[in-house]
Amino acid sequence: MPKRKIYVDPAGVHVIAPNFKQRLSGVTSTIIQLVPVQNRLGQKVAVLGPGLPPHLPHLRFRDLWKLWRAPEGRQNRVWHARRNNEMLAGLILRDLFRMPLKLLFTSAAQRHHSSYTRWLISKMDGVVATNAKSGSFLRVPHRVIRHGVDLDLFHPSEEIDTTIPEYLKGRRLIGCFGRVRHQKGTDIFVRAMIALLPDNPDWTAVISGRVTAEHAGFAYELRAEIAAAGLSDRIRFLGEVDDIKPWYRRLTLYVAPSRNEGFGLTPLEAMASGTAVVASDAGAYADMILEGETGAVVPAGNFERLRDAISTFMEPQKAMQAGRKGREHVMESFGLSREADQLAEVYSGLLGNALPRTSAKTEEA
């Protein structure tokens, strides 16, 4: 039986995290992981919109009129937008309906913004960039706060969920997760597997992610190439899985071959799970990976460099050592409470009152 959503009274909410997209995306995943941590710290964050799990504290759209009244103990709330339509909604609520809101935008895009997006950003009370490269495209003052990953959700495990399903051949899995499309570099991953798997009989490749109608032809061509190479039983499409976390733990090596990304959480999720990572330099991937220690970074779109880097880490001992180092690296630098702490500082600056933060020293700097 589906769980019922947890609805909360806006009077007790200090930060609103709108999510105006039905389908799961990197932005949505960030909200899902971050909000529980923020609330454990006492930051009183609620979500608004579809596509979010019921256990998060939700606001109803019909209760938005209550935002005319400031929250308990404060003069304003923070409206933390991560998309254009969420910025626009915040502007309407603040400037047209005169609600006591401070608008914050987190930018992950690594490209020049359209004039419309620049106009929206210029109306924000605060701006955050997810990495220095994203920040370089902003024309307003901003703070760089890197995304983190929930170390309780993504972790190594020796339990049953690491067992490779019987329908998959081999003793080692190499995976590529995300929407199946050209932007994500799924085709480059498939080409690399066609080149490498014949000489590595212990390995099987798995691809997990949604195929939209727009990209069905792309996926069909990939399947045809795999079949022509005689590898249909060793390069398997899983589709969308209900829970991706056990799959990270089953992998010996994870590959993120994107041609373009905003930030990109999957390498962090893989490393947190104790899995070595080979990634392109799209998004913030290069900032996450310790070259040669937790994996490798190659130029986006470069098939030869990706193939050769993957080959290096298909030596099991090297991959497992990199996976152990990756877990340590994420624990030191990418814990989710670190992101929550830094956002609390931004929220406090906008509200004029300090929000709770963790006192864990390991999450500082």
Mean pLDDT in residue range 300-307:
96
Does the residue 154 lie in any domain? no
**Same domain membership, residue 263 and residue 227:** yes
Mean pLDDT in residue range 167-173:
83
Mean pLDDT in residue range 288-293:
94
CA 165 to chain centre: 26
Separation CA 107–CA 141 (nearest Å): 12
| pLDDT in the model for residue 261 | 83
- For the record, the structure tokens of 360 come out as 């864990």
**Same domain membership, residue 119 and residue 136:** yes
Per-residue confidence band for 27, with pLDDT thresholds at 50, 70 and 90? confident
Extended strands (E) in 93-139: 101-107, 126-129
Q: What is the pLDDT of residues 134-161, one digit of tens each?
A: 899 999 999 999 888 888 889 997 665 5
**Same domain membership, residue 207 and residue 348:** no
Per-residue confidence band for 365, with pLDDT thresholds at 50, 70 and 90? very low
Does the residue 233 lie in any domain? yes
Does the residue 191 lie in any domain? yes
Per-residue confidence band for 352, with pLDDT thresholds at 50, 70 and 90? confident
| pLDDT in the model for residue 262 | 73
- For the record, the structure tokens of 13 come out as 């909410």
Does the residue 318 lie in any domain? yes
Distances (CA, A) of 15 to 295, 304, 334, 340: 37, 46, 22, 12
Look at residues 188, 187, 184, 174 and name the one whose alpha carbon lies nearest to residue 302.
188
Phi, psi angle pair for 199, to nearest 5°: -95, 5
Domain housing 98: 6-148+335-363
Does the residue 183 lie in any domain? yes
Mean pLDDT for the chain? 91
204, amino acid identity: T
**Same domain membership, residue 24 and residue 121:** yes
Phi, psi angle pair for 298, to nearest 5°: -130, 160
Mean pLDDT in residue range 46-57:
94
Are 346 and 126 in contact, with CB atoms under 8 Å apart? yes
Separation CA 241–CA 20 (nearest Å): 22
**Same domain membership, residue 72 and residue 127:** yes
- Answer yes or no: is pLDDT of 363 > 50: no
Per-residue confidence band for 304, with pLDDT thresholds at 50, 70 and 90? very high
- Half-sphere exposure of residue 61: CA atoms within 13 angstroms, side-chain side: 6
Per-residue confidence band for 24, with pLDDT thresholds at 50, 70 and 90? confident
Separation CA 103–CA 83 (nearest Å): 12
Q: What is the pLDDT of residues 176-235, one digit of tens each?
A: 999 999 999 999 999 999 999 999 999 999 999 989 999 999 999 999 999 999 999 999
Q: What is the pLDDT of residues 255-290, one digit of tens each?
A: 999 998 877 889 999 999 999 999 999 888 998 999
- Answer yes or no: is pLDDT of 170 > 90: no
**Same domain membership, residue 96 and residue 205:** no
Per-residue confidence band for 171, with pLDDT thresholds at 50, 70 and 90? confident
| pLDDT in the model for residue 362 | 36
- Answer yes or no: is pLDDT of 361 > 50: no
C-alpha triplet 115, 121, 126: angle, nearest 5°: 165
In the chain the first and final C-alpha atoms are separated, in Å, by 44
| CATH code, domain with 348 | 3.40.50.2000
**Same domain membership, residue 178 and residue 285:** yes
- For the record, the structure tokens of 255 come out as 């590959």
**Helix H or strand E encompassing 77:** strand 77-81
| pLDDT in the model for residue 161 | 59
User: Could you tell me which residue, 29 or 221, shows the higher pLDDT?
Assistant: 221
**Same domain membership, residue 347 and residue 301:** no
| pLDDT in the model for residue 160 | 52
**Same domain membership, residue 190 and residue 244:** yes
**Same domain membership, residue 282 and residue 184:** yes
Looking at the chain, the whole-number percentage of residues with pLDDT higher than 70 is 96
| pLDDT in the model for residue 306 | 98
Q: Number of folded domains in the chain?
A: 2
**Same domain membership, residue 349 and residue 293:** no
Per-residue confidence band for 360, with pLDDT thresholds at 50, 70 and 90? very low
| pLDDT in the model for residue 158 | 65
Comparing 25-29, 92-96, 270-274, the range with the smallest average pLDDT is 25-29
- Answer yes or no: is pLDDT of 364 > 50: no
- Answer yes or no: is pLDDT of 349 > 90: yes
**Same domain membership, residue 328 and residue 339:** no
Mean pLDDT in residue range 82-110:
96
Does the residue 1 lie in any domain? no
Does the residue 155 lie in any domain? no
| pLDDT in the model for residue 242 | 87
Does the residue 153 lie in any domain? no
Phi, psi angle pair for 124, to nearest 5°: -75, 150
120, amino acid identity: L
Are 279 and 272 in contact, with CB atoms under 8 Å apart? no
